[in-house]
Every structure is written in structure tokens, then in C-alpha cells.
A = this chain, B = another copy of it.
Amino acid sequence: MPVEKRHPIPVKEAIHRVLQQDIYTEQTRVSLYESEGYILAEDIVATHDIPRFDKSPYDGFAIRSEDSQGASTNNRIAFEVIDHIGAGSVSKKTIQPGQAVRIMTGAQLPEGADAVVMLEQTVETAKGFTLRKAFERLENVSVKGEETATGDVVLHRGQRINAGAVAVLATFGYAEVPVYRKPTVAIIATGSELLDVEDDLEPGKIRNSNGPMIAALLQKEGIDVVRYNIQMDDYDSSLSVISSALEQHDMVITTGGVSVGDFDYLPDIYQALEAEVLFNKIAMRPGSVTTVAVAQGKYLFGLSGNPSACYSGYELLTKPAIYHMMGALCCYPAIVRATLMTDFKKANPFTRFVRANVTLTGREATVRPSGFNKSGAVVAIAHSNGIMMLPGGTRGYHAGHQVDVLLTSVEMYQQELYI
């Protein structure tokens, strides 16, 4: 019963090997209204200036600034109002000396006008209004092209489409958006100890939590997942299911079976699939046996069967790979530095990842482990919004220490805004 020798590599080397793969989804087009969360496949160019025309940012009166010169409290200058336009309307009139057009926010300045007087800066008269100060050319005017000019690249290939990008695409008339297809992912939980959520408990068994958890993580990214039936620890049937999943999906994620135990068949299955194993040991806790392989130009993620290890493996390796496949330029997680609020005395021979709850309220950036911390723990994941990263070689941390925390989500807080 010899135990296979594995060679641990640093976490960043593992991520690097994953992101080095030439594995991408194709380009496609989606409706603007479904595009949020996709990665742009082309640069997007401004099809017109923003603003499209000199426009009024206020409700007021469009005037010729030169007509206001010399105005003061003791020398109010009178204007005659010759038209009245709201946003979307264009005055047919050209302003002549002493004339003005009543204009609403967003409306195009009429011909001849080069400044806007706000309503509250005027006193009404029978034919119009008076004002008491001189206006400069383009005062209170949103000038054509001041934000963006026709032809400017306004969104970049490889950029994630957020709601703001949707607004930009709408502005420039992109009803369809060039994106990279989202990968389809097969999730296969392996382990003879596993029961389905609906099953009654049996001796020695537990319910499969990794499958639903990984499915939820992918669904959060808008990824279609197929949850396969739980696979017993059996080489033949597991090989057959994984091999068929690999044909039908862009990525196959398994949980469990990647260690060196007598019933851990994933290493043999990678061999049978002629997969290139990028690594099968990482210098980290938990999840050191997390394995990533490539077969038929597709990723095979072998995540740990221990929930906390499985979760960390997803956040550290799978999520970056998903973004990489979709053509994202940015594939690394956000990290914040926070003050540890409790002692964490365990030494860290290897880099340790601890499910944690980080509080970010501006005045406070604090973190604490979110519960029981062993690789098999599950409740602590539910109370986490980040993962503390304690570098290998460190000897234990105390309350008050600054630690780095990988942000897994932006939470809402109970703490009111102070502003």
C-alpha cells in the first residue's frame, strides 16, 4: 500500500498554471438586457459625442452671454423670452440680442445661445425676466463632447459588463453586445458517504453539501450548471460519468476523491482520460490536494470533499479560471487589509485560508474567523464574506494584527452610513 508522493507548489504558482491555459469560450452576441456579468469580446466605440449637443444641465433660460455683460444688482438686465422648450425638443428660433429661451434640464441649447441662467437667478417680468450678474460663455452648459467624443473607445475588450457598461451600450445603440459565451459546467460530487438532500440519514453517511454549494457559487456568476448524480467511490462508473460530462461541458468540477486514499479514484481517472495534471498538491491548508487537470482542451477541477477546502479551492482557483475562460482581463480576487479581532494562535507551516467575516464600514475594517475552523467545517462558510490569508511560515496571529482578507462578496451591513 505505497502512498503516492506529491510535490506541493505555492498557491500563486497554482493559480498561474491555471490561468496560463489556452482555454477560452467562443465569442457570441447577447441582448443588451442580458449582458450584465458577461465579458466584452470587443472594444466598444462611442457612436456619437456625449453630450450629443450643447445642453442645459438646469431648468432655466438660454441666453447670449454677451447680453448679460454689465449686469449687477443695481443694473439688472432684462431679457425677452421667445420660446419654451423641454428636454427632447429643439427650438426653431435663433436667439437675437436681448432674447432668451426658457429651457429645461437636458434640452439642447437653441441657436445663438451660449449660456444658461438658472431659474433661481432670475426675476420674472411680463415679457421675460431680469438678471443681476454677467454670465461667461458656456456657463451652465454641458458642452457637446465634454465627456466622450465620437470614436473614443469607451469600453474595453476583456472588461466585465456591469450595470454602468449596460448604460453605455444603451447610450450608443448596442442592442446586441459582443461577449464571450459563458462556459457550461458539470458538477459531480463523489463519495460513497454522500446522500442527497432529500435522503434520510444512514449510518456513516452525510448529505452532499459541496455539490449544491458549488452550483450556487457558479449560479451567482450567471453560469449554467448541471448537477450530476452523486458518484460512489467506484472507478469504472466514475470514469464513465466524468468522461461523458467532459464531452458535454466546458468544465467538469468534481468534489472529493482527489487525495491518496484507497478509494480516491480521481488520480486514476485523470490518467485514463490522458489529462495533463497541472498540479495535485498545493502548499496550503485546507485543500492541499486540490487538483487541476486539462483534458480535451477543457478544465477538470478536482476540489476537496471537505466543504471548507472545497469552498476555498473554488474561490482561489475555479473562479479565476471561469473569468479567464470568458476572456476577462482581470481574474484575481480583491483583497482587503483588516484588523483581526480575535487571537488566531495556530502556527501556519503552509499558507492558511480561514473562512472569515469582514466588516467594512469605512471607520472600521475588521475581521474574525466566521466559525469553527477545520477543513470539514460547513457552518463557518455560511457566515463568511471573505477568506483570511495567513502566509506560510507565520507563527500565529493576535487580536490587533493586520491580516489580508480575500473578499468573496460585497455584503450589506447593519451599520448605518455616517454621512
Complex Cα spacing A163 to B385, Å: 10
Contact B197 A86 (CB under 8 A): no
Complex Cα spacing A261 to B207, Å: 61
Contact A375 B57 (CB under 8 A): yes
A273 at the interface (CB under 8 A from B): no
Chain B positions within 8 Å of A3 at CB level: 119-120
Interface membership of chain A positions 356-379, coded 1 if the CB is closer than 8 angstroms to chain B and 0 otherwise: 000011110100000110111111
Which residue of B is nearest A355, CB measured?
B164
Binds B, one of A72-80, A242-250, A290-298, A403-411: A403-411
Chain B positions within 8 Å of A199 at CB level: 173
Contact A220 B164 (CB under 8 A): no
Contact B415 A170 (CB under 8 A): no
Binds B, one of A44-52, A62-70, A339-347: A44-52
Contact A171 B206 (CB under 8 A): yes
Chain B positions within 8 Å of A148 at CB level: 372, 379
Q: Which of B57, B159, B193 contacts A374 (CB 8 A)?
A: B57
Chain B positions within 8 Å of A104 at CB level: 261-264
Complex Cα spacing A173 to B209, Å: 10
Contact B334 A413 (CB under 8 A): yes
**Chain A 374-419 residues near chain B, CB threshold 8 A:** 374-385, 389, 391, 404, 407-419
Most buried by B among A35, A332, A335, A365: A335
Chain B positions within 8 Å of A169 at CB level: 197, 212
Contact B360 A336 (CB under 8 A): yes
Binds B, one of A93-101, A130-138, A178-186, A322-330: A322-330
17 A-B pairs besides A12-B417, A33-B227 with CB distance below 8 A are: A10-B419, A11-B419, A15-B416, A33-B212, A50-B379, A87-B193, A102-B262, A104-B262, A147-B378, A162-B382, A162-B409, A163-B220, A163-B381, A164-B355, A173-B197, A330-B414, A332-B414
